[in-house]
Structure 1
Amino acid sequence: MTTRPTKLLMYAGRTVAAAAAVVIVLIVASFGVLATTQVNVPESVRSAVLEHVRNALGGADGVEFGSVAVSVDPRRVLPEISLEDVRLGDLIPSWSVTLNEVTIGIEFRSLLNGEIRPSSVAISGVDMRRVARSATDEDLAAPGQDQGAAGFLNSVSSAFGFAEQAGLGRVTVTNARILDEDRMSAVGLSGGWLSMTGTAATKQFVGGFSINSDFESVGNVRFEGEYDPSSGTSEIKSTLGGIEINRLRNQLDWLGEVPQIDATLDGTAELRIGRTGNLEHAKGSVALGQGYVKRPSGTGAANFNSALIKFEYDPNNRRVDFADVAIDFDAAVVKGGGHLSFFDGGDSGGWIEGQFDPLELTPSKSNSIGLPRTGISVSTAFRIDRDPYLLRFVHTALRSGDLLVLAEGEVGFDDGNLFGKTEFGAESLGLQTFFDLWPAGLADNPRNWLTKNLSGGKVQDISGAISYSAQGDWTTRLNFQFEGGAFTYLPTLPPAIEVAGYAEVTNRSAAFGFEQGFVDVPGAGRVNLSGSDMFIPNIWNGRDASRIRLKLSGGLEPVLLILNYPPYRLLDKGGINPNIATAHASAEATIKLPLLRRLGIADVEFDVKGGISDVKAVGISGKADVAADFLSVSANRSEVAISGVGTINGVQGSASWRQGFGVDDDRTSLLVGRIIVSQDMLNGFGIAVPEGILPNGIGADYYVSITPGATAQFGITANLADLGFNLPLPQLESEAANSPELLLEGRFLEKLELTRISISGAGINAEGSIVTGSDDGNLGIEFTNLRIGNWFDVALHIRTDEKGNFRFSLEGGVIDLSKLPDKEAGMDGLSGLSQTVAVRLDKLIFNSRVTLTDLVGEMQLDSNIGGRLTGRINGGQLVGIEVASTANGMGGYIVTEDAGAAMRDGGVVTGLYGGQLELSLLPKSKAGAYSGQLRMVNATVRDMPTLSEILSIVSIVGLVEQLTSQGISFSEIEAQFDVDRELLVLKEGTAIGPSIGMKMSGTWNTEDSTANLEGVITPFNPVSELARKTPLQLIGLEKGSGFGAIAFSVSGPTDSPTATANPLTAITPGFLRDLFNF
């Protein structure tokens, strides 16, 4: 397949061949006769004319003639031969040539001599039509002529007797049409003429014609030459004048892929044609007037004022040399030279190789493409493949001053559409020169963006690529290193200076990496940006989010101030003072944002991670000095956070600070962490607490809440187990594994002020505050409500005396032992603490019937808890109580001077009066369960329904009346029992008095006032009195029993019981009753 440029060259040759054919036709036509007076032509004359024509055409076959006529102009007596419809057949390969009318004037003298010599030829209507393509090269040689054009001219001369004298005066062509059916294009010629003179040794010819487009002339061609029959060579000089290139191009569809040139062409050419029609040498020049050149599509015009090209062709080497090339474009003047070499064969049907060395581009006054003032020198080697058309250029060098750019690439056509690509590189040049060399109109947007944001310094190691697809899409890529300039990340941030790094810019995106760079923050210092980078996905549309990754390193203040520039304003949002501390900061910030002039925080996404080291902050709240080796920092659009380990007044601790930026955030920032709390640390902060209340070295969690315009709040939380002791308080079973926490809260004033003390966790809750004693001014802590589960609710006061000793007191409130939860562990006291606690409780509830009120006394809190208290049973009888810790909980010892009143007030019995009581209770492992012992002396029983029922059943005379009147006295009452909340299990009880003795066991439910008892009762008569005074063990009796003892049982409600007795037991000694069990 032949390339379009090749076809262009071939058709140019064919056009010349066609023009030569016209000339040949003119010569051939000289043998017709046309006159104003018709003359009958004898057959012999007609045959002679046709024979001359055939001989002139070298014996070519396929020549056909229509009519042949001879006429004589009577005015000049000039015979003329008229030929009509002459078809030349195979005269020119692949072409069909028809001459519509040919009029040939005959020299009269030749007729007298029996010869036919033309004096003039006029052709009206030439139709040359290309009907098929020849596989062979075409030249001016006629068929059957090995000698080509020279031999053909000799044949014409011989046939018409030109050997002695050349006498063809003039050949004219009224109009001619050359049509290429394959290419659907045509060229018209008109006003053509040819004149030949000379001798047998040399012949001269001169001629010319006009080139037509749409029946109008678009240029003229004139030629003259000399033919040497002996050598067969011709020397031809031609002149081209006023050829309108674009109008001619429009007539030739096959030139559609050639750039449009709108200008007038003038030129000269000198040709030497050999014997066989081959071109032996050519040289000349082409000049263009003012005009423009466009792409084949008609876009992208480049205006020029003039163009001049001088050339010389060497057929032996098939090389064309160009010299004195000068094109004056509006943007620049191009001057230089080069050469072209032509080659046949190959897959593309041939190719052209060439070189320009050099072309000088000098900027014009407008310099619309931004050339350097010194201009550019271009040297290149290239190759043009013909089919498909492809221009490759290699070893291309662009020079401007000290600048050297090397490039290579290609340009071609794909289905009629232009495409191309190039790669280039350079070593080093100034940044401004780099922008000056950037061609205008080529990737303008990347260039404009770079010139706006990158300034000063130089670029080096430049490489790039530019491509243009057949679909009309541009692709550019530019890579370079930069050094020493300034770069603007964002219009709102100070520019980075002394930058050094790399860049890749395409027609759509841009990426930058900074191996070095700094930002000077006014009044604060310098921040190092080395290692930062930036990616812009769409430099055409700033709304597409770009990514900036800043690596910041420098003093804390300038780094914080950078983060306070719009649109971030992290300091303003958090109310942070950039001078909060001295430190070295390093951070990596990833920022995503559109490149718009006006940005809001909603347009920006950022994520900052880093740290600050060697932190020193002096005088926080006027008291605390903070230091840290390293603190980690993070920030995003929602919050900023700082965390790490440091010291406060020399005390080590951890910290985590957060400031929220969300819509729901109230600008309150929160600092949390863990610190070692001590009295010295609290004193350093100005926190007033009683001396010695906290041991040194307590690990505690803390927080500080900071709201701009408000007093900062703080809190400290510690586990009570970390205080070095455990509270001797039962815990809720579900939270037995937890330990209560102590919370201290306050606010930052001139001194840090505690506003709240709280204990919570494991079922314990307490709220308190620091107080100052009104009488002595000493500090104290008051817990207004210390709650443990649902059974303990009292106030706890802690005061110091003048010696600094602690004084604890429990005041008011209620302790409900009936709701005490089950527990598995006992109370072993307080390890590490020894304190006396004053107790003044409102109530101590044992069960639903028994409550101690107005409880007053002291408790000793140490490794063994104990104390002495007084209180009133259900608000009545005063009792004394001693308590002590045991393995299972708190045990007690109760005494009172009026046992009867205590029993009645407690709802135990209603008919007991007087006596002294001693009661001991020891807790069991089950909560609310105790084992106890009771002893009363000198008590009287009166109006007791249960005892009255027993005495009535056993029928002891007089005792019932005594019970209901003055009462029955007992000198001693003893009992051993177990208590499980409301149930009393009497294991053994004895009562001895002057009248009777009793022994019993059973159960008593105080909840529903029911009893189920059994035992023996012994009336004391003389025999019994004697036996009672005898040692009981000698006669087999137990305490409380004797001779005549009667067994009984009683059950039911205590106010109306049912009793039974066994009468036989009255006459049976006790030891026999035990033997027979009755």
Structure 2
Amino acid sequence: MSAARLKEVWPAAAPPKPREWVRENLLAGYARDVNFAMRGSGTAKPFVYLDLAFEDAAVKFQKSLPPLREAAGQFSLYGNRLVVMATKGWVTADQGGRVDAAGTSFIIPDTSVKDGAPGIARIEASGQVTAALSLLNRPPLSVMEKAGLPVDLASGRVALSGTLSLPLRKGVTPDEITYHYRGRIRGAASDVLVPGESLSAEVLGLSGDQDHVQIEGDGALSGVPGSLIWRQAVGPAAERATAAAGQPPPVRVNGTIELSQATVDALRIGLPKGSVFGRGEGRYEVVIDKGVCAKADTGERSGRAWPADPGAELAAERGGHRSAATARAAGRAAAGGGAVARGGGVAGLWPCHAGTGGGLRRALFDRVDLRGWFRGAVELVGRGARAPGINIRSGVLDLRRMPDGSGGSGSSGGSSGGTGPITLQLDRMQVTDSIALTGFRGRFSTTGGLNGDFTAALNGQTGVSGVVVPKDGGFATRIQSEDAGGVFRAAGVLRHGSGGTFDMSLVPAPGAPGEYDGQIEVKNTRIKDAPSMAALLNAVSVVGLIDALAGQGILFTTVEAKFRLGATHLIVHESSAVGPSIGLSMDGNYDLERSVLNMRGVISPIDPAQCGWPGVHPQGRGADWLCLHVEGGGG
């Protein structure tokens, strides 16, 4: 029996809604093995039973979907319950070709319900991913369109099962449609899910409902092994969020990724070769907001990696469409701690792309540990094809423990631009065992060698500023302060100093890693509460007596010294201090660990020739001198 003949013989006395459904939705085909029964009495509504098999049929299961063609299956009407089951058939999507719909069924639980009887479609489908997403994109769902994504966002074959429920009446709104589905994509590949990167996987899971679409599974990102969960909000809830925020809700991508030098290379992060070693796994989360400047973030670990959680921030732009991403990330080390970086780089980062060129834009590591010589937060800022800039956002840097054993006398100081610009915001820089710079702020360049300027507080007390320039394969430093006395107090050299200007230069000592040759020049500093002998000698002069009576201490208009500074010691080769009332010269050494002096020198007004120290010559004084040999605690 043909479909047309079936419609003709359908009993007029039978319930109208099943008859209407058959007339509107059975477009073609043949019926066989028809069983029909109707039972009733009097004026009561009769009970109707109809069962038939159909083949070569064209059936419209749901108004928003294309008809099922070459269909075969079973039709059943049992009282008010209508069921159509397809054991064979396919639909043709707007894009992507045919979708096999064998196993799909349509149910009206109660055809007697007025003003919108519920209709339920249980969907079984397999075909190309593009075709399946194209069906989801048909009105009124328009899943992909509302998500701002193309239906061809991924290639591969998908098999899925789902359920769709809606009232059977005209003017149905998206709020009245509920659905959910779940399936698998095999041989998946996409250049859209993660902007600017290619994703491939043997198997990915696909799921969704009226609120979201989700794709998840293990695969490779631009050839780098990893996993992802891609999630996009859709439907009425997304529309309400869009109305409230003024832009569509974001796409979320999170998962894991291998961290290694291969990752850096494949994702075009822009770090120098050899910056990363080891292998590990990191977790990441990306939030992509349509219409906002693109960002993306990740966390990572390598096999020898950061011991704690980092976050990152990147940017992506594709063909004029900008998307934004924010992420917080946490990584898990695949093996123990240790340094992740050597040279100027760090380990595996998430990529950032500008246009089609690729490269790092920004990456932030909350806690970094480089074999104990640095602990803190590090930010890398991409500079296109050049090495990234390095921003040290916080932390402690110990110059004593740096890999070359010095604060820069090794090859690093003579770099010819192997790293990008460096900005330091350190809580503490440990220079020697007893000397540290706190609140360190500096900006440096490696072009032609390390150079830049900085400010800090010496041992947390006296403010200093400095300049670093390349010098003999390392770098030289000049440190200045407007409180020379404060510098001496903070360094533990002289507790009674006050005022004056301080100017010191340091250069790496030849053949002595970790030590510096230096010169100091101090102008107009005073020593208050000086030892009794010094105060007595100062008072011998008229100027010194006036200063003493005024409580201003001993004034030195010029102090000069040449010395060598090591991690535990200060060796004074020669020094002199000259003032209007007193002058002295001194050499010797100072134990920085124990604060112990061993100095010799002369103070006016005693003749230095009587001391037997011909190498010690005070400047600018008269004929009388006092010979000194000082041992014991400094200050």
TM-score range, shorter chain: 0.5 to 0.7
Instruction: Decide which of 159, 182, 201 is 1:609's aligned counterpart.
Output: 182
* 1:878-897 pair list within 5 angstroms: 878-880=504-506, 893-897=515-519
Matched-pair contact (CA < 8 Å) for 2:392–2:425: no
Partner of 1:497: 69
Partner of 1:788: 394
Distance 2:72 2:456 in 1: 83
Distance 2:454 2:174 in 1: 62
Residues 790 and 592 of structure 1: is their aligned pair in 2 closer, same or farther, counting only changes over 3 Å?
Answer: farther
Q: Percent identity?
A: 18
Distance 1:893 1:495 in 2: 85
* 1:186-225 pair list within 5 angstroms: none
* 1:148-167 pair list within 5 angstroms: none
Paired AA for residue 29 in structure 2 = G
Distance 1:430 1:495 in 2: 18
Instruction: Decide which of 635, 640, 645 is 2:213's aligned counterpart.
Output: 640
Distance 1:627 1:448 in 2: 47
Distance 2:224 2:609 in 1: 85
Partner of 2:589: 974
Distance 1:461 1:545 in 2: 26
What is the DSSP-based 3-state SS (H/G/I as helix, E as strand, rest coil) of the residue aligned with 1:557?
Answer: helix
Distance 1:780 1:698 in 2: 23
Partner of 1:751: 356
Measured after TM superposition, the shift of residue 664 of structure 1 is: 1.3
Q: 2:296 matched to 1:715?
A: yes
Residues 854 and 811 of structure 1: is their aligned pair in 2 closer, same or farther, counting only changes over 3 Å?
Answer: farther
Measured after TM superposition, the shift of residue 593 of structure 1 is: 0.5
Partner of 1:738: 308
Partner of 1:269: none
Q: 2:571 matched to 1:935?
A: yes
Distance 2:95 2:142 in 1: 18
Residues 990 and 694 of structure 1: is their aligned pair in 2 closer, same or farther, counting only changes over 3 Å?
Answer: closer
Instruction: Decide which of 450, 474, 483 is 2:22's aligned counterpart.
Output: 450
What is the DSSP-based 3-state SS (H/G/I as helix, E as strand, rest coil) of the residue aligned with 1:611?
Answer: strand
Q: 2:456 matched to 1:840?
A: no
Distance 1:933 1:583 in 2: 70
What is the DSSP-based 3-state SS (H/G/I as helix, E as strand, rest coil) of the residue aligned with 1:598?
Answer: coil
Distance 2:63 2:88 in 1: 20
Q: Deviations over 1:921-977 (max 9, x none)?
A: 3xxxxxxxxxx433335445678xxxxxxxxxxxxxxxxxxxx8443544x443334
Paired AA for residue 967 in structure 1 = G
Distance 1:724 1:857 in 2: 33
Matched-pair contact (CA < 8 Å) for 2:195–2:316: no
Q: 2:560 matched to 1:990?
A: no
Q: Which has the higher contact order (CA 8 A, sep 6+)?
A: 2
Measured after TM superposition, the shift of residue 595 of structure 1 is: 0.9
Q: Deviations over 1:2-24 (max 9, x none)?
A: xxxxxxxxxxxxxxxxxxxxxxx
Matched-pair contact (CA < 8 Å) for 1:591–1:604: yes
What is the DSSP-based 3-state SS (H/G/I as helix, E as strand, rest coil) of the residue aligned with 2:19?
Answer: helix
What is the DSSP-based 3-state SS (H/G/I as helix, E as strand, rest coil) of the residue aligned with 1:593?
Answer: strand
Measured after TM superposition, the shift of residue 675 of structure 1 is: 4.6
Instruction: Decide which of 171, 176, 194 is 1:598's aligned counterpart.
Output: 171
Residues 790 and 682 of structure 1: is their aligned pair in 2 closer, same or farther, counting only changes over 3 Å?
Answer: closer
Q: 2:387 matched to 1:766?
A: no
CA RMSD of aligned residues (A): 5.1
Paired AA for residue 377 in structure 2 = I
Paired AA for residue 362 in structure 2 = I
Residue-pair matches, total: 486
**Unmatched segments (≥5 aa) in structure 1:** 1-428, 727-736, 772-777, 793-803, 821-833, 861-865, 884-890, 922-931, 944-963, 979-984, 997-1019, 1026-1038, 1043-1047, 1055-1078
Partner of 1:705: 288
Partner of 2:492: none
Matched-pair contact (CA < 8 Å) for 2:388–2:420: no
Residues 655 and 977 of structure 1: is their aligned pair in 2 closer, same or farther, counting only changes over 3 Å?
Answer: closer
- Normalised by the length of structure 2, the TM-score is 0.61
What is the DSSP-based 3-state SS (H/G/I as helix, E as strand, rest coil) of the residue aligned with 1:664?
Answer: helix
Paired AA for residue 807 in structure 1 = G
- Normalised by the length of structure 1, the TM-score is 0.38
Q: Deviations over 1:686-731 (max 9, x none)?
A: x683653755878664748373xx6983535353x539666xxxxx
Paired AA for residue 640 in structure 1 = V
Partner of 1:856: 468
Residues 1049 and 758 of structure 1: is their aligned pair in 2 closer, same or farther, counting only changes over 3 Å?
Answer: closer
Distance 1:839 1:680 in 2: 32
Q: 2:495 matched to 1:869?
A: no
Distance 2:228 2:54 in 1: 43
Residues 542 and 607 of structure 1: is their aligned pair in 2 closer, same or farther, counting only changes over 3 Å?
Answer: farther
Paired AA for residue 24 in structure 2 = K
Instruction: Decide which of 140, 143, 163 is 1:567's aligned counterpart.
Output: 140
Matched-pair contact (CA < 8 Å) for 2:389–2:419: no
Distance 1:712 1:969 in 2: 65
Distance 2:185 2:81 in 1: 34
Distance 2:383 2:226 in 1: 25
Distance 2:633 2:191 in 1: 86
Instruction: Decide which of 549, 559, 564 is 2:122's aligned counterpart.
Output: 549
More strand by share: 1
> Greater CA deviation, 647-656 or 894-903?
894-903
What is the DSSP-based 3-state SS (H/G/I as helix, E as strand, rest coil) of the residue aligned with 2:21?
Answer: helix
Measured after TM superposition, the shift of residue 843 of structure 1 is: 1.7
What is the DSSP-based 3-state SS (H/G/I as helix, E as strand, rest coil) of the residue aligned with 1:715?
Answer: coil
Distance 1:703 1:463 in 2: 59
Q: 2:241 matched to 1:664?
A: yes
Partner of 1:299: none
Partner of 1:204: none
Residues 509 and 681 of structure 1: is their aligned pair in 2 closer, same or farther, counting only changes over 3 Å?
Answer: same
Distance 1:523 1:816 in 2: 59
Residues 966 and 754 of structure 1: is their aligned pair in 2 closer, same or farther, counting only changes over 3 Å?
Answer: same
Measured after TM superposition, the shift of residue 471 of structure 1 is: 11
Measured after TM superposition, the shift of residue 591 of structure 1 is: 0.7
Paired AA for residue 466 in structure 2 = D
What is the DSSP-based 3-state SS (H/G/I as helix, E as strand, rest coil) of the residue aligned with 2:296?
Answer: strand
Distance 2:603 2:466 in 1: 39
Distance 1:699 1:858 in 2: 39
